[in-house]
Amino acid sequence: MPFEPLVTGVIEASLNRLINDDPQYIQQVVRLKGKVIHIHLQELNRQLIFVFSHQVDVLSQYEGQPDCYLSLKLSVLPQLKEQANITQLIKQDKLVLEGDIQLAQKFSQLISDIKPDPEEWLSRITGDVLAHTLVQGAKNHTDWLKTGLQSQQRKLGTVLTQEWQVAPNGLEVASFCDQVDDVVSQCGRIEQRINRLVSNS
């Protein structure tokens, strides 16, 4: 199977599954019914076309004229919710927008709002209690790993700066910067004296 149809198929199936999980998202899709949004993802140089009907169809090619064309990086998409951001992004060359601005904002709102709920999905397979236990356990494990990593980073910093003295500590860096400033000032004064001597001779 070609790569692009596989990717668009996965995006389409995931998006529709998430939309159908929440009546609020279904209403947002209804408001977009009949619209076509063409997105060019700059970092991947790929096209995604979103066609809205009773669901969302995701295509890699589209022959017709879209209602809205966007060329941007994925990280920019959530910022389109605010109209003030759109003008700024266009001026900064982070966004190319052709067509309906309000449609771009509605699409951005939908994509930003949709967030997968792992606990809800797991509960369909395992039941509510086990799903909650598994998700909570995963969150706790992630927090524990983050805390452990931060602790190790602090210990490594202490070892490098104090025990092995491979890297300077904050006070040594500040002192070095002060010394550099003094040398620069002295060089400036010497240069002025030389210029005065040259001009007087």
| CATH number of the domain enclosing 109 | 3.30.1050.10
Q: What percent of the chain has pLDDT over 90?
A: 14
DSSP strands (E only) in 1-158: 36-41, 46-52, 56-59, 68-72, 95-99
User: Could you read off the pLDDT of 12-59 as tens digits, one per residue?
Assistant: 888 888 888 888 888 988 999 999 999 998 888 889 999 999 899 999
CA 100 to centroid of chain Cα atoms: 24
Answer with the one of 63, 91, 116 that is the final residue of a domain: 116
Question: What is the pTM (predicted TM-score) of this model?
Answer: 0.56
- Whether residues 58 and 136 share a domain: the answer is no
> Across all residues in the chain, what is the average pLDDT?
77
Whole-angstrom Cα distance, residue 111 to residue 113?
A: 6
DSSP state for residue 4 in the 8-state scheme: H
- pLDDT the model gives residue 126: 58
- Whether residues 16 and 107 share a domain: the answer is yes
Report the pLDDT averaged over residues 71-92. 83
- Whether residues 59 and 157 share a domain: the answer is no
Contact 16, 51 (CB under 8 A): no
Higher pLDDT, residue 154 or 56: 56
Answer with the one of 84, 116, 148 that is the final residue of a domain: 116
Answer with the one of 66, 95, 116 that is the final residue of a domain: 116
Neighbours of 110 (CB within 10 A): 21
Element (H, E) at 8: helix 3-20
Residue 144 is part of which domain span? 119-200
How many structural domains does the chain have? Answer: 2
- Whether residues 25 and 56 share a domain: the answer is yes
Q: In what order do the strands lie in the sheet containing 36-41?
A: 56-59, 46-52, 36-41, 68-72, 95-99
Q: How many CA atoms lie within 13 A of 30 on its CB side?
A: 7
Query: 36-41 and 68-72: which strand pairing?
Result: parallel
- Whether residues 40 and 134 share a domain: the answer is no
